[in-house]
Each structure stands twice: as C-alpha cells, then as structure tokens.
Chains A and B, each alone.
Chain A
C-alpha cells in the first residue's frame, strides 16, 4: 500500500527548545516548514529546565567566551569537541540577546540589564576560585519562559505544527540521502510520508530508559531510534548525567538546596555515610561523588527499605520553618511522591538519571555526520540534529548546568541556518522518494496489527528500565555491565514480539507506546554496549575496575551501530576554531 505524501521544504521532528528555534529560522526565511510533535509544543520537556541559560554577557562581573569555553571543555572531561565548544560559547551572547528581543522575561538588574547568577562549574579566569556570573534566568522557570517565547514567535512566523503526530522512521534513498520521515497521525491512526529537502531531529533526551529518571514520560528517544534504524550510529551513549537525589520510585528531583540547607544522607544503620567518602565536603560533595557513594552503600547491603534499594535524605532536624520557607515545594513533593512528610521523617532517594550527553552525531552546523569512505565525519545529506538528542559534542562526558539551554538555542539556530542554506542551494524539485520509502514503518505497523499474542509492552518497558538501572547505573561494575548487555540482547529479542490487545486505529495510545518501546530499546542497547566497552572512568562514566581516565586509549568518541550491535570510534576534535587547544589535564574542582 502506498501512503499519502505531504511535501514541505523542511521537517522538524520535535517541538522543544531546539526544534522551535530551528523552525523559527526556517519559517522566517519564507520556507514551508512542518513541525511534528507528540504533544502540544509548550508541553515539551524543555519546560522542566529551571536553572538558566549560560552566556558571558558580563552584566554582573567580568566574563568572556574564552573562560566559558575553558569551563565547558574541562567540564566535559576533555571529551567535548573544542571547535563546537568554541562555536557555542562565541554565539551565546547573540542567541540570548535575540531571545531577550523576542520578549523572553529574563530577571533584570536595577539598570535594566539581564541579571546573572553563578552556577556550578562556571568560573572566571580559566578555572580560578572566583565564580563567573553567567546564568541568565527567568525565576525558576527559564525553560518554560523560553519555550513559550519561541512558540509565540513561530506562530507569528506561520510555522505549521502537526500536534499529536509521532514520527516513525527516516526515509533514505540509495545514495544515503535523507528525504523526510514517515509519521503517524494519532487522531486517525494513519501513517503519512513527509517529503522534504531537509529533516531535523530535535526529539530531546531518552531518560525513560532508566527506572529512576527525572525525565517526563514523553522522553523515549524517538529520534535516536529513527537514526539507529536508518543505519546512522549513535555517539557517546554511555554518558548519562545522574542527579544524586531523586525520590525513590518516582524520580522527581529533590534539589541540591536541601543538602545546602543542612540535610544529609543516611544508610539503613542510620549512619551518615558521606563522612566516610568525603570527609570535608560530606553531603555537599559533587554530584558524581555523592551518587557513587550512595550506589556503593546500596550494593554493599546497607540500603534502606524491604528491597534495600535506596538511602534516606534526612531534613526533619532543619525544622518546619526552614523547610517551608527556604525549600519551597520540597515538602509537597515528598508527601506526594514518597508519602513522607519531611518535617517528621526522612525522604527515600536514589541516584536518578537526568541528562543524556550522547546522541545522533552532528557537527556544529547541525549536520548529521557518520563515517563513510574513510571520512569519520561524512555529512549525511538532508539530515540534521540539535538539542539533547544530538551529540555535537559540546558536553562530552559531562554537561555543565545551564549549558543545555544554551545548546538548544545555538544549535537550534545553526541547524536552522544550515538547512535554509542547503535548501536554497538545492534544485527546485525535491529528490524523488525511493519505492521502499515507507516499507520499514509499514512493516512495524503491520506486525503490531497482525500479532495475536506476544510480549506485553508495559512489561517489556518496565523490564528494560529495571535492567538499565541495575546494570548501567551511575557506578558501573564489570560483571554487571556484561550481564547487562546480555540481558538487553534478550530483551531486544522479546521486544520484536511486542503485542497490543487493542488494534484500533483512532487515537490508540497503546499503539503509540509500542512504537515508543522500539526507540527505548535502541537507546538502551547503545548505552549498555558503549558503557561495557569503554574501559575507563571519564565524566559521567564511572567504573569500579577502571577508576581513572585513560587518555592514551580512550580519548575518543564511541559510535554504536544497530546493525551487528557493533562499535566504532572516532577522534575527539581537540583543535578549536581560532584559539589554542585546551590540553587534557586532571579535573579537580
């Protein structure tokens, strides 16, 4: 059966910060743009970003892009590509000021300039003890304000939104060029071909592959699955940033501010265990140190609860007044999600996944790149990626706070600009669609429709999340990693027999969740395989058997391919665009 075809100049998959920023660039250039999104644009996960967006505006003290660049390179544990990092830091002021002019309600100084505050890892003068005032915020709702501002601008620019549409697969022709996507309209349950000269993946992170995750339910790695199935590798997928204190069983974040105010962690013996791991900083040690200590306590049998699978965050000693006044919302979160009133009792917490540093490999112009004919970074014509689903790579092995919203703006814009340029330089007519354009998607849908028995989607998803949590968490052990890879292989085989009872077409969420599961499987598999293979600790990858960073052997990017479940590697760009390289050094704060 042939599917209906809709033709546009450009397709943007995902309507979070990066997708909206790119779409704006395309619509303003007068091009016909379709933005496909599973949920209404302002309900994208970008709304959850609180902290701010980094830009060296120097409104509240000296600052410049060189310092910001140094902090980002060091923060990445030297895995970040220094050309891309220079590019991002040099364009930061421009994209933030642009957003200000679009009406973004930034907090202000008395002189009317954007107020800026310090944030972890951002320093003055190349890592001096003095913090840089670099984070621009709109109260604790920066992501929310950004998303709403960009959405309004897109409405004004006549961007066409396809809301409650799920993109299924990329369309590639015999030359390997990407000519659009297939997508499912939830309302009708029908699949449609979107034919375009340029396609952007902007589908966000895939934190739902872990049982303990701060990510919203929509974060299922749809763009990663699409890329992997189309033969494009996924880069650096072993690197996931964890936050030490997510509510056990829910994932909702308990801010670091709780420990800043004097809250501390206890194991099942009531011991304040951080005193053993970090005698000075104790519970205020850096995120990775605290997360590793918690995991060690749990692994060695000192976890709390019937399954000994979490530790407790104690703050009742702070008193009701401090909790209510200085930690707004924390009491409500604890009561709602842990059934514990922190004024009287401790909150069960576990290290919780928060941000995906890896993704679809792209250069700083947003072009997706993959090894071909001896070039480790040949451009995949027609395909672009931006935001958390991409790996540019500016965050390397570890992201600094407030650099994620900057990443959205800079690379959303640069990919939009590059798409405009490519479309203008292309022939007037679209390249013809291959005959098999929709075969993969149709086969996936037909299998689900035909299956009379098989594995339940909810059960598979839950098994996948538990496997990843147990085997590929914040602190990684060799035997657990190799078992995890085997378990993921078994799970992927089971997922090929996924099954739904209700075959209805019209607005069938079970069908959507079955299709999302395919994307979770690709993401989880790439993570497990890449993590098992990387025999070092760097940034967010922390192994018990290889505790040190190993630049001699591992200063390189991982590339995971779905076909053959195999890995390849490519060099890190150590050479910036215009300045001297920052040579790898031991990372201390």
Chain B
C-alpha cells in the first residue's frame, strides 16, 4: 500500500474508544502492507460503524454485519 492510502486508513482507525485504537493499530501494522484495494474498501465500511457497535463486532459480542464483510472482520478479530 502506498504512503497516502496507508495514512488515510491509519487516520480512519483513530477512534473514540482506546480498545479500537489498539486493535486497529495492530491490524494496520500487521496487515497494512498486504491489504488489497478491495480489503481497504471493506475495512472502510466496517470503520464507518459507530465505535461501540464496531467493538461489539470485534470481540464477537455481535455478528450483525453484511456477509461480504465477514472475511475482513475475521482478520480484525484475530488481531
């Protein structure tokens, strides 16, 4: 991923909840370089969720997410 896309994604990962900041930081560090354009778009959709809803998805308290996004969510959950 080029610098600009990386930075845009990194900033979308700045959240109101520290828990999300930490998980998303790890995710971008681990997977940032290998994310495809499609991955980034889908991650972007997840990141549009309100913080508390996204946190529920990340820790598996909720599964309410479009089937298309399950793959990227699983990778996020593993971080």
A contacts, CB < 8 Å to B: 38-39, 42-48, 141, 144, 147-148, 164, 186, 213-218, 250-252, 328-329, 332-333, 336-337, 502, 504, 506-510, 512
Q: Which of B18-26, B35-43, B65-73 contacts its partner?
A: B18-26
A164 to B23, CA, bound (A): 21
Q: Is the CB–CB distance between A502 and B51 below 8 Å?
A: no
B3's partner among A42, A213, A217, A504 (CB-CB below 8 A) is A504
Bound complex: CA A34 to CA B14 (Å): 22
A216 touches B21 (CB 8 A): yes
Determine whether the beta carbon of B11 is less than 8 Å from that of A164: yes
Q: How far is the CB of B31 from chain A (nearest CB, A)?
A: 16
Chain A residues contacting B51 (CB-CB under 8 Å) are 42-43, 47-48, 144
Verify A509–B15 contact, CB threshold 8 A. no
A506 contacts across to B, CB distance below 8 A = 4
Contact B16 A509 (CB under 8 A): no
* Number of B interface residues in the complex (CB < 8 A): 22
What is the minimal beta-carbon distance from B53 to any residue of chain A, in angstroms? 9
Contact B16 A332 (CB under 8 A): no
Q: Are B14 and A47 in contact (CB-based, < 8 A)?
A: no
> Inside 8 A of A47's CB, which chain B residues have their CB?
16-17, 50-52
Q: How far is the CB of A289 from chain B (nearest CB, A)?
A: 25
> Contact: A217 with B14, CB < 8 Å?
yes
- The residue of chain A having its C-beta at the shortest distance from the C-beta of B59 within the complex is A332
CA distance A277 to B10 in the complex (A): 44
Residues of A within 8 A of B59 (CB): 329, 332-333, 336
Q: How many A-B residue pairs have CB under 8 A?
A: 82
Q: Which of A46, A251, A328, A336 contacts B16 (CB 8 A)?
A: A46
* Min distance, Cβ B39 to any Cβ of chain A, angstroms: 19
Q: Apart from A144-B50, A252-B22, list 17 A-B contacts with CB within 8 A.
A: A38-B14, A42-B16, A42-B50, A43-B14, A43-B15, A47-B17, A47-B51, A141-B52, A213-B18, A252-B19, A328-B61, A502-B3, A504-B4, A507-B8, A509-B11, A510-B7, A512-B11
CA distance A186 to B10 in the complex (A): 13
CA distance A216 to B13 in the complex (A): 11
Are A215 and B18 closer than 8 Å at their CB atoms?
A: yes
Chain A residue contacts of B10, Cβ below 8 A: 509
Q: Which residue of A lies closest to B24 (CB)?
A: A217
Write out the residue numbers on chain B whose beta carbons fall within 8 Å of the beta carbon of A329.
Answer: 59, 61
Q: Are A508 and B7 in contact (CB under 8 A)?
A: yes
> Are A144 and B52 within 8 A (Cβ)?
yes
CB distance from B25 to the nearest CB of A (A): 8
**In whole angstroms, what is the CA distance A502 to B11 when docked?**
16
